[in-house]
Amino acid sequence: MTDIADNLARINQRIQAACFRSGREWTEVSLVGVSKMVPVDRIREGIEAGIQVLGENYVQEALKKIETLSDLTVSWHFIGHLQSNKARTAVESFDCIQTIDRQSLARELNRLAHKRGKRISVLIQVNTGYEESKSGLSPEDLVSFYELISTLDGLDVRGLMGLPPYYDDPEEVRPHFRNLRKMLDQLKDRTPNPDRLSELSMGMSHDFEVAIEEGATMIRIGTALFGTRPTC
């Protein structure tokens, strides 16, 4: 086994243990391998080891990887801040966009999806920590934003994505994960199709077990899976 395969096996064991502690089935949780700045050959190793979903932060970087790895079956998610001028490429290239956070972007994605005769899966990004350095809606704006974009039939709104503040102790992040789950529950109460709002993308390499215990259905794992990224 390669080091990536070993890492994936250990992460899967931790996922199963966290699900057991919280009374969940481990199949309820999807692992998104964060492949930002990861060389293509290592990404290929990861896919061959069993990674089924990859998350990229930059459109241009992702395009080269998507083309190079087109011989393999994998789902590509966009997990970075999406600029409106990259919306067309994102609609064409990704299976899910996890970072919808403003009306102008939602309307542009909807227009482009219609133009291409497709419906694209999206998550709404929420800034639970009110951090100026991070994208995402404030929690107070979530309901009105959801009511708007749920009317855009080119978008399939599947749930929420969160990138809470970093704490050395993962337990300190738990309230943010819990709040995001409560926000999703509130949205479910406002829609005739609550089953469609099934996804909570939250938790990364150092805190994903706590996120799973609080209801995460997608965890975004980079360093624990692929190793430390280059600094330049």
Q: pLDDT for 67-98, tens place per residue?
A: 999 999 999 999 999 999 999 999 999 999 99
- Does residue 108 belong to any structural domain of this protein? yes
Q: pLDDT for 173-188, tens place per residue?
A: 999 999 999 999 999 9
Q: How many domains does the chain have?
A: 1
Q: Place 212 in a pLDDT band, splitting at 50, 70 and 90.
A: very high
- Does residue 228 belong to any structural domain of this protein? no
Task: Return the structure tokens found at 225.
Answer: 């899976």
Q: pLDDT for 51-66, tens place per residue?
A: 999 999 999 999 999 9
Mean pLDDT estimate for the chain? 96
Q: Which domain holds residue 160?
A: 3-221
**Cα–Cα distance between 60 and 44 in angstroms, integer?**
18
Q: How large is the average pLDDT for residues 108-125?
A: 97
- Does residue 230 belong to any structural domain of this protein? no
**What's the chain look like in SS3?**
CCHHHHHHHHHHHHHHHHHHHCCCCHHHCEEEEECCCCCHHHHHHHHHHCCCEEEECCHHHHHHHHHHCCCCCCEEEECCCCCHHHHHHHHHHCCEEEEECCHHHHHHHHHHHHHCCCCEEEEEEECCCCCCCCCCECHHHHHHHHHHHCCCCCEEEEEEEECCCCCCCHHHHHHHHHHHHHHHHHHHCCCCCHHHCCEEECCCCCCHHHHHHCCCCEEEECHHHHCCCCCC
Q: Are 33 and 226 in contact (CB under 8 A)?
A: yes
Instruction: Assess whether pLDDT exceeds 70 at residue 198.
Output: yes
- Does residue 146 belong to any structural domain of this protein? yes
Q: pLDDT for 139-195, tens place per residue?
A: 999 999 999 999 999 999 999 999 999 999 999 999 999 999 999 999 999 998 999
- Does residue 179 belong to any structural domain of this protein? yes
pTM: 0.96
**Cα–Cα distance between 4 and 62 in angstroms, integer?**
20
Q: Are 203 and 220 in contact (CB under 8 A)?
A: yes
Q: pLDDT for 121-134, tens place per residue?
A: 999 999 999 999 99
Reading phi first (left if > 0) and then psi (alpha if -120 to 50, else beta), residue 23 is in left
- Counting residues of the chain whose pLDDT is more than 70, the rounded percentage is 98
Instruction: Assess whether pLDDT exceeds 70 at residue 231.
Output: no
- Does residue 93 belong to any structural domain of this protein? yes
Instruction: Assess whether pLDDT exceeds 70 at residue 137.
Output: yes
Which pLDDT score is estimated for 102?
Answer: 97
Which pLDDT score is estimated for 229?
Answer: 76
Q: How large is the average pLDDT for residues 206-229?
A: 96
CATH code for the domain in which residue 134 is found = 3.20.20.10
Q: Place 2 in a pLDDT band, splitting at 50, 70 and 90.
A: confident
- Does residue 231 belong to any structural domain of this protein? no
- Does residue 15 belong to any structural domain of this protein? yes
